[in-house]
Each structure stands twice: as C-alpha cells, then as structure tokens.
C-alpha cells in the first residue's frame, strides 16, 4: 500500500483494463423548498382516490408520492422522526430524496404504468414530514416545549417550508434498474439487510 497520493496515474503505470462500477441510471438534481412537497401532500389529501386510481400498484403513499411494493417498510421510530424535523428547523443538510419521473405516455389510460412517479429513496424522511404536517409528531421549540405544526404561526411555517430539500430524479421504466438504484442508495451509509433489498 502506498502513502503517496496522485490524482492521476502516469500513462505507463495505469491499467486501462480496470473499470469501476458506474451509475445504473442517470440522475438529475433540483433544489426545491419543502413547500413543493407540502403542496404535493395538500393535493393528495384533497383527493386521495385519484392518486390511488392512477397508481393502483402502489404499496402506500408518502407526501402524496407512490411507494413501490419492493421498497422496505416504514422503519423510523418517533425519536428518529423528531430528530429529522429538528434538523430541518436547525438548517442541517437534508441530503436528497430520489424519485422516478418515468411514465408511459403511449396511451390515454386512467392509471400510470407501474413504478411511474415513485419515491425510490427518502421515505423515512418524507414520512417524518408528513407525520409532522398532520400533527402526528411534536418537536421541541427553543424552550424545549413539544410543538405540533398547527400551533405555529405563518412566519415560522414559511421559514420551515422554505428549507431546501433536494430532489434527485431518474427516468426509467426498467424495474430491475430501479431496484438496483434503490439498493445502492444506502450503501456506505447503512446497508439494507437482505430482507430489505429489492434485488435479491
């Protein structure tokens, strides 16, 4: 093992036959405020049956987004959810959530093809937001008093909703590629156990 670091190898010492893994699907990232997610939840709550009609194959909906059957279940406890919401209030880096834009436009049907518009990664964090917005989760204020969303004034709500939560997006109808992408999302952070993986 060498202790010398070189950003690039000398041509004569590099092995051109070595190739490292590549991304399965191309990703686009947009830096949206949480308000975009909140608006999506509002729209879903007004007419949940419409979302269910469009995505009859979804296991569940989180913030109005369909979650595929092959995604793991909701795992976070109340403490983890509360810590995430506190992180939003504190201005921490929230990372990104990953969704799939793909849908089949080849026909005029009421339901979209399976895996269209799905939430691939980030459901624990988005579910925490949903629980908070629906007053099912309280987080401490600056005095340590637990507070629910409906108690807050518009100034504090606007501050929270303006927080950036990046949306990484792929566009694919290939379920195998989507499952591989899902499995890779947590690698290096907290690997999914075999029973939580989409590709087995």
Question: How much is the pLDDT for 178?
Answer: 92
Positions in the chain whose pLDDT score sits under 50: 188-189, 191
Secondary structure of the chain in HEC code, one letter for each residue: CCCCCCCCCCCCCCCCCCCCCCCCCCCEEEEEEHHHHHHHHHHHHHCHHHHHHHCCCCCEEECCEEECCCCCCCCCCHHHHHHHHHHHHHCCCCCEEEEECCCCCCCCCCCCCCCCCCEEECHHHHHHHHHHHCCCCCEECCCCCEECHHHCCHHHHHHHHCCEEEEEEECCCCHHHHHHHHHHHCCCCCCCCHHHCCCC
Question: How much is the pLDDT for 189?
Answer: 47
110 to 27, 41, 81, 156: CA distances (angstroms): 28, 20, 35, 39
**Sign of dihedral through CA atoms 63, 65, 66, 70?**
negative
| Burial category of 99 from C-beta neighbours within 10 Å (exposed 0-12, middle 13-18, buried 19 and up) | buried
Joined together, the tokens standing for residue 117 give 């518009």
Question: How much is the pLDDT for 77?
Answer: 96
Domain spans of the chain, in order of start: 28-103+110-188
């Amino acid at each position: 093992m060498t202790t010398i670091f070189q950003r690039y190898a000398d041509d004569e010492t590099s092995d051109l036959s070595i190739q490292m893994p590549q991304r399965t699907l191309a990703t686009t990232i947009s830096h949206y405020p949480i308000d975009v997610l909140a608006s999506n939840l509002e729209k879903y709550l007004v007419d949940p049956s419409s979302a269910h009609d469009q995505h009859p194959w979804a296991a569940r909906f989180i913030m109005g987004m369909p979650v595929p059957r092959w995604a793991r279940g909701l795992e976070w406890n109340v403490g983890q959810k509360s810590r995430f919401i506190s992180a939003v209030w504190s201005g921490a880096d929230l990372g990104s959530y990953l969704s799939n834009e793909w849908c089949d436009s080849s026909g005029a049907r009421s339901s979209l093809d399976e895996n269209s518009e799905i939430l691939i990664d980030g459901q624990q964090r988005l579910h925490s937001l949903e629980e908070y917005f629906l007053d099912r989760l309280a987080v401490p204020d600056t005095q340590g008093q637990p507070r629910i969303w409906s108690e807050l004034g518009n100034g504090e709500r606007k501050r929270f909703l303006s927080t950036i939560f990046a949306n990484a997006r792929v566009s694919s109808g290939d379920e195998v590629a989507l499952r591989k992408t899902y499995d890779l999302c947590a690698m290096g952070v907290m690997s999914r156990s075999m029973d939580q993986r989409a590709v087995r």
